[in-house]
Amino acid sequence: LVILLAAAFSLHVVVEVILHTPIVGSIELFLAGTAIYLFAVTSLGILLATVANSMPQFALLSIPVFVLMFLLSGSFTPFESMPRALQAIMDLSPSTHFVRFAQAVLYRGAGIDVVWRDLLTMAGLGAGFVAIALYRFKAMLARQS
């Protein structure tokens, strides 16, 4: 909720008021997509927490995963210039779909009819990460008892 409020504040105050830049797309659609993206990334974090045995291991595991996911999402480097194998791997990252979604909504004014695939993919990845994390957690509890 805090991140969503900060994103809405940034769009309205910083972009529109301070920078005097009009936002072409729907802010409500962008915030809904951001909520789905936060679910997917949080689910990935929970999955990584089930892989690590301790908090320091989780930190060492999550830093390269999230940094690489962010750097290769298409926000800094064009997604199309990456090798095909890396593109296929990065299609399993919610960040790639969020960058595509956010650019379409905020820059081009795309509606739900254009970005629904990215929203559905982010939600599916999040649900998959949660399902795998729950499976791993249940298996861990079964081993302990």
* pLDDT value for 144: 86
Predicted TM-score (pTM) above 0.75: yes
Q: 76-88 as b/e, with b when 16 or more CB fall inside 10 Å? A: eeebeeeeeeeee
* pLDDT value for 24: 87
* pLDDT value for 23: 87
* pLDDT value for 71: 92
What SS3 class is residue 98?
helix
The DSSP-derived string for 5-26 is HHHHHIIIIIIIIIS-----S-
Rounded to whole angstroms, what are the CA distances from 35 to 28, 31, 82, 110? 11, 6, 27, 18
* Distance, CA of 111 to CA of 117 (rounded, Å): 12
Structure tokens at 130: 């949660």
* Crossing angle of helices 2-9 and 27-51, rounded to 10°: 140
Contact by Cβ (8 Å): 44, 94: yes
Rounded to whole angstroms, what are the CA distances from 62 to 20, 33, 83, 145? 37, 23, 24, 28
* Distance, CA of 94 to CA of 100 (rounded, Å): 10
Residues of the chain scoring pLDDT < 50: none
* Distance, CA of 48 to CA of 43 (rounded, Å): 9
* pLDDT value for 145: 78
Site of tokens 């972009």? 15
